[in-house]
Chain A
């Protein structure tokens, strides 16, 4: 019985930490970081501009994966050099935050 209670306690802690991990991604911080660099090509709220694609509305895992690939120096498309250069400067936390922000980012004329 004590062992079960101890296990439950640890399980609770692990679940708490896991949920914290999920919630740790900060969309507001992601927006701030996005607006420092990414906005110059992809436009406000990840809308896409000129020959640079729309990147909003993607699942968090998708954006994290793609930024991770770029950060490791692997080319994906014709503008990869720009993405590799930009992604190399990002930490894991910043990538998670940007992905969280872009998931629900919506463009309107007044987006900044």
Chain B
């Protein structure tokens, strides 16, 4: 009996040890859910659109109707290159202008910035209109990519070289819900891990644009620092084009785990989308009239049809003019479609750094709002967990930023923080720890 009791005690002790070991193991493998907080790093700006960081943490930023500036790591601000009519800038381009959604948009630094001091800038320009731009139904070379050299003291830029001169622009008002001039310019630029510059463009409200590769509209470019196409690009009509069939590419970034490029796009009353790009692939956006069972559309653009001036069930509209039309055999299917809604997806960036815990590697996607016809508004940032094959998502979580704004531009920056520009005029630093 005594032996039996001792044996029982031994068993109990072993069981206790096992329990403690199990508990300890669970604690070590517990979910690393970071605390996320945001702070304003700049305010009172006019439509800040994009940011880019030097290795020492200085921040370039664009304001859509003003120009390019920098907030240095020491805290001073220098106005570098203004639009026509802007005041207080060291230099200005008299050909640069803003109208509607157009203006000075994306900014990007060369991967070798520390050595070559090279910066790229996207803007609307009158310089290359030539004999075009007389109507909405013809070629209009009105958006450009410029290249500059930044001075070592970060107080000026010089040596402007326009490396892309023929991105399409909408010059006049049309009969659409968002029908003003300057619509859908894309404008986001990011260097890929291959050392090439990827440039998002928009359909500029011209129906034939996204499927017509003789024009740079509704495409993503892959070019070198001089504007030449990557030698392995396969679109024969224009070898600068990497993918086509897009609506308005304002979100563009590369997945850290494999370098895969993804876009985030603003849908037309339906289906904001995140898409894994494939060389030569088709985004599937075709707003042209008299195809796919459609008749004539207002100003030859079916992008908001049918019944474009009234709210209606997004799925019905999606069936008429799909964001990703399965007619195309080269379609790049979206990984995410915002549950069929369009709420204004504007920009996106992959979350990098272990401080993001369980969210590391997710695609932070800025949503600007836009709630019409029964679509709920939603000014927020979503953290999208994209499947490894890039064809679906595993989960979507709203980022607890504590603020609700029109998030226009997202970019990772110093301290593995996410920086966000807002249409309201701020730049936020969103940190996780």
Contacts and interface: CB of A to CB of B under 8 A. Distances in A.
A77 to B, nearest CB: 7
A37 B405 CA distance: 14
Interface string A73-91: 0000111011011100000
Nearest to A45: B424
A43 interface: yes
A87 to B, nearest CB: 12
Interface string B272-283: 000000000000
Contact of B424 (A36, A49, A84): A49
A41 B47 contact: no
Contact of A49 (B47, B176, B180): B47
Nearest to A50: B423
Interface in A65-112: 77-79, 81-82, 84-86, 107, 109, 112
Given A40-B369, A78-B173, A78-B180, A51 B100 contact: yes
B406 A86 contact: no
A39 interface: yes
B423 A49 contact: yes
A31 interface: no
A78 B406 contact: no
Contact of A39 (B173, B344, B377, B408): B377
B426 interface: yes
B426 A78 contact: no
A79 B371 contact: no
A78 B424 contact: no
Contacts of B311: 85
A44 interface: yes
A77 B377 contact: no
A78 B179 contact: yes
A81 B309 contact: yes
A37 B309 CA distance: 17
A40 B310 CA distance: 17
Interface in B371-406: 371-373, 377, 379, 404-406
B43 interface: yes
A84 B423 CA distance: 23
Given A40-B369, A81-B308, A51 B180 contact: yes
B379 A40 contact: yes
Interface string A27-65: 000000000110111011001011100000000000000
B101 A81 contact: no
Nearest to B304: A81
Nearest to B175: A81
A36 B379 CA distance: 12
Given A84-B309, A112-B404, A77 B180 contact: yes
Given A43-B405, A49-B406, A50-B64, 20 more contacts: A37-B371, A40-B377, A41-B369, A43-B424, A47-B424, A49-B47, A49-B424, A50-B406, A50-B423, A51-B101, A77-B180, A78-B100, A78-B173, A78-B181, A81-B177, A81-B179, A81-B308, A85-B309, A85-B310, A85-B372
Interface of B: 40, 43, 47, 64, 100-101, 173, 176-182, 308-311, 344, 368-373, 377, 379, 404-406, 408, 422-426
13 contacts: A40-B368, A40-B377, A41-B370, A49-B47, A49-B406, A49-B422, A50-B47, A51-B100, A78-B100, A85-B372, A85-B373, A86-B372, A109-B40
